[in-house]
Structure 1
Amino acid sequence: MSRRLAEGISLDEPKPHPAATDAVVAYGANLGDRAATIAAALEELTRVPLVEAVLASQPVESVAVTLEGEDASAPAYLNGVAIVTTRLAPTVLLAYLHAIEARHGRERRERWGSRTLDLDLIAFGDVRSDTPTLQLPHPRAAEREFVLAPWLSVDPDAVLSGVGRVDEALARLRSDA
C-alpha cells in the first residue's frame, strides 16, 4: 500500500521528470586556442546531468563586438550555437554554463571584453524571463549575425520567442547592414 503525504504525493511512486526542452546556447571565444576550448566546452556540456543531447553548429569567425561597436583590432571570435535538449530548469542550465566558462579561464572583468570562453543562454523553449540573473530570450540575439546564422545551420525552422522566425530576423539584420 502506498504511503501518502497530506498533499497527496506518494512516497513510493517515482516523481515524473520534467519534459525535455530545447535550449539555444551561443558559444564563442577570442583568446587562447579558441577551437580547442570550444570543443572541450561542448564535450563538457554533453556530460551535464539531465542534458540529453547537444547539437552544435560549425564555428564561424567574426569580428569582436565591444561596447563601442565592432573592433577589428581585437582578436577575432569563433562563434556558434548549440541546441541543448535538457530537463534542467533554465537557471540551473545557466549555472552549469557559467561553471564551464570558469573552468576554461573565463574572467568577468569588463562587459563585452575579450574572453577565453563565452556561453550565453539565448532561448529556452518559449520561456520568457526578465530578471537580473536571467533574460530570455537573450535581449540582443536578434542583433547578432554570429548567433542567428549558426543557429539556422542546426535548426532551419528556428523561432526566437518575441521576434519570430530566425531566418527572417537574419534577413532583416543583413538588409539593415
Structure 2
Amino acid sequence: MNRVYILLGANIGDPWQQLAAARLEIEERIGSIELQSSIYESEAWGVTDQPVFLNQVLAVSTAYSAMECLDIALDIERDLGRVRLKKWGSRVIDIDLLYFNEEIINTERLKLPHPYIQERNFTLVPLVEISPQYLHPVLKKINKTLLLESKDTLTVKKHIHEHL
C-alpha cells in the first residue's frame, strides 16, 4: 500500500460541506483515510483579495500510483464543482497531493513533493499536526522543521465548528 498526503482547501460556497464531501469522495475513490488534521482557517495565499480558506490535511492509504491519485483528485474536484479560472483564486474545492510515499516526481503534470509545501503555513500547520516527523525527501528536513523555518506570515488558526 502507498501513503499519499493530501491537502484540502475551500473558500466559497459552503467550505465545511465541501471539505466533508471531498473526504467522502477520497475515501470512496482513492483509499482509506488513516489520519486527518483538524480544520484550519487561513488568509488566502498568493491572491489575497478573496475570502478566508478552510484547509485540512489527510494521510490516505491507497493502492493507486501517484499519477492515478492525481487523476482521481482532479475528477473529484470537477465532480464537486471546481472550475479553474485563475491561479490561486477562490475555489469551491482544491485537492492537492503533497507527498506520495518518499517518492520524488517531477513531470509536467505532477510534482511531488508539492513544490510549495515549505512556503505555506496553511499546508505546514495541519501537516505537522498529523505527521511532524515526516522527512521531506528533497529538502531532507522534517515537516516540523519546515514549519519552524517558514517565512510565511499569514495567520493559520485551528477552527472549531459544529460540523465536525
Rounded to whole Å, the distance in 2 between the matches of 1:52 and 1:75 is: 31
Q: TM-score, normalised by structure 1?
A: 0.81
Cα offset for 1:150? 0.3
Indicate the residue corresponding to 2:137 in structure 1.
161
Gaps of 5+ in 2: 154-164
Indicate the residue corresponding to 2:19 in structure 1.
38
Cα offset for 1:79? 0.8
Q: Deviations over 1:40-87 (max 9, x none)?
A: 1101111115x23342211100011125xxx2x410000111001111
Is the contact between residue 46 and residue 54 of structure 1 (CA under 8 Å) also seen in structure 2? no
Indicate the residue corresponding to 1:57 in structure 2.
37
How many correspondences in the alignment? Answer: 152
Indicate the residue corresponding to 1:8 in structure 2.
none
Structure with higher Rg: it is 1
Cα offset for 1:38? 0.2
Q: Which moved more, 1:157-166 or 1:82-91?
A: 157-166
Letter in 2 for 1:128: I
When the two chains are superposed, the root-mean-square deviation of aligned CA atoms in Å is 1.5
Is the contact between residue 131 and residue 143 of structure 2 (CA under 8 Å) also seen in structure 1? no
Cα offset for 1:21? 1.4
| Aligned CA distance change for structure 1 residues 122 and 172 (closer, same or farther; 3 Å) | same
* % identity of equivalent residues: 32
Is the contact between residue 45 and residue 54 of structure 1 (CA under 8 Å) also seen in structure 2? no
Cα offset for 1:133? 0.3
Matched residue SS, 1:23: strand
Q: Deviations over 1:97-134 (max 9, x none)?
A: 11111111101111111100000001101111111100
Q: TM-score, normalised by structure 2?
A: 0.87
Which fold has the larger relative contact order, with Cα–Cα distance below 8 Å and residues 6 or more apart in sequence?
Answer: 2
Q: Which moved more, 1:51-60 or 1:140-149?
A: 51-60
Gaps of 5+ in 1: 1-19
Aligned structure 1 segments of 4 or more residues deviating by more than 6 angstroms: none
Indicate the residue corresponding to 1:15 in structure 2.
none
